[in-house]
Each structure stands twice: as C-alpha cells, then as structure tokens.
C-alpha cells in the first residue's frame, strides 16, 4: 500500500501562498490546515486545527516549528496507543483472534516509537524525504493494525479511533513537510 501522495511542490506551494494571502487574519495553523485538507483527502480540517492548536507553543511557532510539533503529536499518539494496547491485553476475556490482533498491533506500535524518533532526527537535519519515509511507515502500521481486525468477519477493532488518529496525525506531519519543501524549493 503506497501512502505517498504525489502533488507537485510548486502546486502545493502556490496553493499555500494563495491561502495565506486570502486569509491574512488567520493564523499559521489555520492556513496550514486549510491547505493540507484541500490537497490531501486524508486530512480533516477540524482534526488538523484542533490537534495542532492543542500542542504547547504551536500558537507562536513558525512553519518549521509547526512541522516538529506535528511529528511530536505523532510520537505522543503512538506511545499512548501502545500503552492502551498493553492495558487491553491485560483483559483475559478477549477472543483468541482479537488477542492475536492486539498483540500484532502492540508490535506495530512498539516498532513505530523508534521510527518516529528517527523521523524527528531526519526532520531536524532537513532530510525531509527520509522523514517522510519514516512517517509513512507509521501510517502503514496504523492501517495494518486496523485491517488485521477486519480479516475475520464480525470482529470489531477496539483501536479504530486510535488507528485513525495515528493515520491522520501522520498525514498532517507529511503535509507540513511537503509545504516546507515546496517553500524551500521555490525560494
């Protein structure tokens, strides 16, 4: 499953500039989320703004800082999801199939923690393509976790919201990186 969405940098940058100029009174988070939700069907505007606005220091961050904040949100979410799965596994009443799915998800989220840390390192080094690969693999992990429950008819995932949040936060981080890359290549 390919997560990469091909949008030319110049098109994305142009859309971002238009959004900024059309909405000078809006803050960077709103402008970024507006552009991101228009160019990526995986991003919900309200989810994007709510998530970024809730992060400390996001209201006064520049675009590069907003990118790091978005990756940190992925990290916190992945860590929290793993903790939640660990708690769910303590319940001995799970069907063996669901228990196996939860174990698989625990492994996926455990692997995602060092992956997101590597993405942060790449991001800080301005190695955006490498950071993109890391964040994309986290999106794939969330998707794989969710799809595991769907492989058996009648089984509902207890992790749907967490998986969706991980996927969407990752999409936001990727979008912010694309905007930064586009801004850097046009300047």
Instruction: List, for residues 99-116, the tens digit of each pLDDT value.
Output: 999 999 999 999 999 999
The CATH number for 65's domain is 1.20.140.40
Whether 181 has a pLDDT exceeding 60, the answer reads yes
Could you give the CA distance from residue 101 to residue 171 in angstroms, rounded to a whole number? 24
> Within 13 A of 186's CA, how many CA atoms are on the CB side?
16
Residues ≥6 apart with Cβ < 8 Å to 158: 88, 98, 102
Residue 1 lies in a domain: no
135 within some domain: yes
Radius of gyration over every alpha carbon of the chain, rounded to an integer in angstroms = 17
Tokens 């625990």 -> residue: 106
- Report the pLDDT value the prediction gives residue 185, as an integer from 0 to 100: 64
pLDDT at 120 over 80: yes
24 vs 65, residue with greater confidence: 65
| 1 or 180, which is more confident | 180
- Condensed to tens digits (0 to 9), the pLDDT of residues 26-70 reads 489 999 999 999 999 999 999 999 999 999 888 889 999 999 999
Q: Is residue 2 part of a domain?
A: no
Predicted pLDDT at 184: 78
From 17-21, 135-139, 168-172, the region with the lowest mean pLDDT: 17-21
Residue 20 has pLDDT above 70, yes or no: no
Per-residue pLDDT averaged across 78-97, rounded?
A: 96
Could you tell me the residue range of the domain that residue 17 belongs to? 9-186
Per the structure, the count of domains in the chain is 1
What's the chain's average pLDDT? Answer: 88
Residue of 187 and 130 predicted with greater confidence: 130
Residue 172 tokens, joined: 């936001």
Mean pLDDT on 79-99: 96
């Amino acid at each position: 499953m390919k997560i990469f969405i091909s949008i030319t940098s110049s098109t994305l940058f142009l859309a971002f500039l238009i959004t900024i100029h059309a909405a000078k009174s809006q803050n960077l988070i709103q402008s970024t989320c507006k552009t991101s939700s228009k160019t990526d069907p995986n991003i919900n505007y309200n989810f994007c703004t709510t998530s970024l606005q809730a992060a400390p220091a996001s209201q006064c961050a520049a675009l590069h800082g907003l990118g790091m904040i978005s990756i940190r949100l992925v990290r916190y979410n992945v860590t929290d999801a793993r903790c939640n799965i660990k708690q769910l596994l303590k319940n001995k009443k799970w069907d063996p199939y669901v228990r196996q799915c939860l174990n698989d998800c625990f492994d996926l989220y455990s692997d995602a923690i060092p992956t997101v840390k590597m993405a942060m390192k790449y991001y800080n080094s301005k190695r955006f393509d490498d950071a993109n690969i890391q964040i994309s693999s986290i999106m794939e992990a969330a998707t794989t976790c969710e799809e595991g429950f769907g492989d058996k008819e009648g089984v509902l995932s207890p992790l749907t919201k967490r998986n969706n949040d991980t996927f969407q936060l990752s999409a936001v981080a990727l979008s912010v990186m694309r905007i930064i890359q586009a801004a850097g290549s046009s300047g």
